[in-house]
Structure 1
Amino acid sequence: MLLDSIVYIILSFLVFSLCFTIVNNFFLAKPNKLLKTDQNKPLISILIPMRNEERNVTNLIHYIKKLSYENYEVFLLDDRSTDNTRSLAIKAIDDDERFHLLDGVPLQEGWVGKVHACHQLSKQAKGKYLLFIDADVRLHPSSIEMTLPYFHSNNVKLVTGFPRFPVTSFLSKLLVPMQHFVVWTHLPAFIANLTIQPKATAAHGAFMMFEANGYTEIGGHSSVKNSLVEDVHIARKVKESGYFVKLINNTSFITCYMYDTNKEVWEGFLKNIYTGIGRSKIMVFFLSVYYTFVYILPFPIAIFNEGWLYTVPILFIFLQKAFIDWQTLQKKWLFILMPFSAIAFILIMHASMWRSILKQDYMWKGRAYK
């Protein structure tokens, strides 16, 4: 029967994908040791670009002050905010000499705003390691001690990872956890972490720690000045220079309150997703077909047909999503939304692609990008 054959094909994809996800999990490094207290503790420069971050800046600084690692400096750059970011930052810093608040210069032509801000921050840093985080990140007190050991092997120059993402709005529940899903499901982590193959690379700009000399050698953020997905592109630069990038599961000690509203979720993914897949129409087509066939089609098949066989693919879909959500400390019940997440993922890909095709601007924080 044709329908049974289709179900078996879908099931074969799902079984393979689940196995791949489980194997991948072993190669996405997890923190299993802290920096020993008797080791020399190098200076860490924590570098934070901020633009209209009044809802985040107070808690951001509060959590940094709770770090157990003592030898650090903090540079925050107010990137010409139009809200109360600067005044709230001054109040939260409260004369703490470890913190330095910078005023950003006007955005130069050919630069993306965040990249330009990170470039300015890097010029002030004196640390042996440079930790770039976003203003919506909250650091666990032991975050630095849990990150530094990864630099002690394999000529690693960059450690990065996709943080834990608390989700509130409906669209954030559908799309934000898909960042973890895509990495766990599609990226061969054993190649990403054990080789310097640039194409097998993922990174998240909310948390990127560089060895300072390596960062300088690759040209820093100026080497990706016009990139809307500068995190991935600068990670590739590291590998192209012959160094390793360590992609870790840092959800136990890094939290990122990425988007607050449905509008922010839509605009953020609209800006990043098509660029993130290399602005490839072929990739959009392939991913659309794959997610429709594997993660959406099984549900109408099960609803409109009787028999246990038609429910088995749904079980594997839920198992895979639940496993990834468990590993990334996501809400435990979100796996039931997987078909809607797949639909939203396809829709935002196409919306992002067509915005590029029609040469319309991507908007973010009051700035327009092509």
Structure 2
Amino acid sequence: MRVSEIGRWVIGAAAAGAIASLALTIDNARRIRRPDPASAPGAEPLTVLLPVRDEVDHLNDCLTAVLDAVDRWRGPARVLVLDDESADGTDRVLADFVARHGCVEALDGAPTPPGWLGKPWACEQLSRQAPGDGVYVFVDADVRVAPHAFVDSVALLRAAGLDLVCPYPRQLTTGVVERLVQPLLQWSWMSTLPLRLAERSSRPSLSAANGQLLIVDAAAYRRAGGHAAVRDDVLEDIALLRALKRSGGRGVVAEGSEVATCRMYDGWREVRAGYRKSLWSAFGSTAGTVAVVVLLNLLYTVPPIAALCGSRIGLLGYLAAVTSRAVTAARTGGRCWPDVLAHPVSIVAFTVLTADSAIARRRGVLTWKGRGLSGSAR
């Protein structure tokens, strides 16, 4: 086979892969579960669990939104906030909020023990203070929930017969880097994971979750071992869903753009730091990481390069990728035009961030919010 024939075969295979991914994206857009404002859950206990570390700029707004959502809950509700050894004044903001709102309970976090990472340990401490029944809502400080968020999300959990559901917040982005990288979060599972199959399957590999807003049945959470079962996982949200599946539970990610928003990172430095801590572990192993990065570049950078050289098949592959991104954005409340046209650049940016994370992991210099990660994370 001549070199030119090999090139055409590679371009054709890449375009076919992009088209197949588009087909899955469209199917998921039709099938994805969404919190239903027309439904109402029973009056069961609800416990909101909020771990915070150095969140002085977010805590007040987050808790204000949480209380608005709790006010709509018909059953008993508690809001537990754990200050995880903050050093930026978060403790003072929390104390002031508790003084003004007696329904919020503040906890002081204990030092992270050996073998644990910070967030799983904070969540574990919170869960130990929660009742053993009803529903737990884990929420991050940079999330702003809508007033109907808890009612609608728990209604979805119960109506669908699930044990865990993650209503994926609408990701707020400004600036070039955020707009390039952040939309890949929803697109990654919308274009690769058959969602209805994933929620029925016990296979850990068919799992997507988001700890920004995570709704879980209390009994199922405890059967799975809680956060103790994922004590050293950087991506503790996905690991928790996998643990729940191993214990016989069912869970899935949902479309949550109407119940919550989140501004994860502000600018290049925060984007790099945030992804640096976790991308090395996102695909299970170094070999898995290399395979995924190579496949993404094959499917989403080879076709547009070929298109620039006059390949119609390459153009078809590029348009399939752009359409997949557009469908995802339309379904999840994200930015669409002209951002989706830069999808190949997004893949290159993701590749750079993944390499940076893997190199930092290998050198043992991973940190997050002042704590080292390399020593205890597997």
With the length of structure 2 as denominator, give the TM-score of the two structures.
Answer: 0.90
Partner of 2:360: 355
CA distance in 1, matches of 2:268, 2:211: 21
Structure 1 SS opposite 2:147: coil
Aligned residue runs from structure 1 range 54-203, under 5 A: 54-67=56-69, 68-70=72-74, 71-126=76-131, 128-152=134-158, 155-203=161-209
Equivalent residue for 1:29, pick from 28, 33, 37: 33
The answer to whether the 8 Å contact 2:45/2:134 transfers is: yes
My pick for the range that moved more, 3-12 or 16-25, is: 3-12
Asked if 1 retains the 8 angstrom alpha-carbon contact of 2:140 and 2:212, the reply is yes
TM-superposition CA deviations, 1:234-279 (whole Å, max 9, x none):
111111011111321112212111112311111111111121211x
Q: Distance in 1 between matches of 2:328 and 2:311?
A: 28
Matched residue type, 1:139: V
CA distance change for structure 1 residues 146 and 8 in 2, over 3 Å: closer, same or farther? same
Q: Which residue of 2 aligns with 1:312?
A: 316
The structural deviation recorded for 1:182 is 1.0
* Consecutive unaligned residues in structure 1, runs of 5 or more: none
Task: Tell me the TM-score normalised to structure 1 length.
Answer: 0.92
Alpha-carbon shift at residue 352 of structure 1 (Å): 1.8
Cα distance in 2 for partners of 1:31, 1:209 equals 11
Change (3 A) 1:97 1:13: same
Q: 1:65 to 1:302 in 2, by over 3 A?
A: same
Question: How far, CA to CA, are the matches of 1:355 and 1:188 in structure 2?
Answer: 32
Instruction: Tell me the residue number matched to 1:328.
Output: 332
Deviation at 1:151, TM superposition (A): 3.2
Distance 1:310 1:106, change over 3 A: closer
Matches of 2:310 and 2:216 in 1, distance apart? 55
SS in 2 for 1:208: strand
Q: State the secondary structure of the residue aligned to 2:205.
A: coil
Q: Match for 2:23 among 14, 19, 33?
A: 19
3-state DSSP class of the match of 2:170? coil
Aligned residues between the structures: 365
> Which AA in structure 1 matches 2:125?
Q
Secondary structure of the corresponding residue to residue 138 of structure 2: strand
2:292 aligns with: 287
User: Amino acid of the residue matched to residue 285 of structure 1?
Assistant: V
Is contact 2:35-2:167 (8 Å) kept?
no
1:226 and 2:232 equivalent? yes
Cα pair 2:209 2:252 within 8 Å, conserved:
no
Q: What fraction of aligned residue pairs are identical, expressed as a percent?
A: 25
Q: CA deviation at 1:34?
A: 3.8
Would the aligned equivalents of 1:49 and 1:118 in 2 still touch at CA under 8 Å? yes
Deviation at 1:150, TM superposition (A): 2.9
Q: Larger deviation: 115-124 or 188-197? A: 188-197
Using the TM superposition, give the Cα deviation of residue 17 of structure 1 relative to its aligned residue in structure 2, in angstroms: 1.2
> Cα offset for 1:18?
0.6
Q: Secondary structure at the match of 2:278?
A: helix
* SS at structure 2 position matched to 1:186: coil
- CA RMSD in angstroms comes to 2.0
Give, in whole Å, the separation in 2 of the partners of 1:337 and 1:368.
34
Is 1:263 aligned with 2:269? yes
Q: Using the alignment, how far apart are the partners of 1:29 and 1:125 within structure 2? A: 27
Instruction: Tell me by how many angstroms 1:217 deviates.
Output: 1.8
Q: Structure 1 residues 247-256 or 230-239, which shifts more?
A: 247-256
**Alpha-carbon offset, residue 289 of structure 1:** 2.0
Query: How many Å apart are 1:230 and its aligned residue?
Result: 0.9
Structure 1 residue 5: deviation in Å? 4.4
**Deviation string, structure 1 residues 204-237 (Cα, Å, up to 9, x no partner):** 1111111111112222111111111111111111
Q: Is 2:372 the counterpart of 1:368? A: yes
Deviations 1:154-208 (A, max 9, x none): 6522111322110124322222211111111112212211222222111111111
Distance change in 2, residues 1:73/1:34 (3 Å): farther
Query: Residue type of the partner of 1:327?
Result: R
> Aligned match of 1:44 in 9, 25, 46?
46
**Does the aligned pair in 1 maintain the 2:11–2:302 contact within 8 Å?**
no
SS of residue matched to 1:66: helix
User: Shift in Å at residue 15 of structure 1?
Assistant: 1.5
Structure 2: gaps (5+ residues): none
- Contact 2:32 2:195 survives alignment (8 Å): yes
**Which residue is 1:53 aligned to?**
55
1:75 to partner: Cα distance: 0.8
Task: Give me the whole-angstrom Cα distance separating, in 2, the residues matched to 1:156 and 1:307.
Answer: 46
**Quick check: 1:325–1:331 contact (8 Å CA) kept in 2?**
yes
Q: Deviations over 1:21-73 (max 9, x none)?
A: 1112233212234443xx63112110000000011011101211222225421
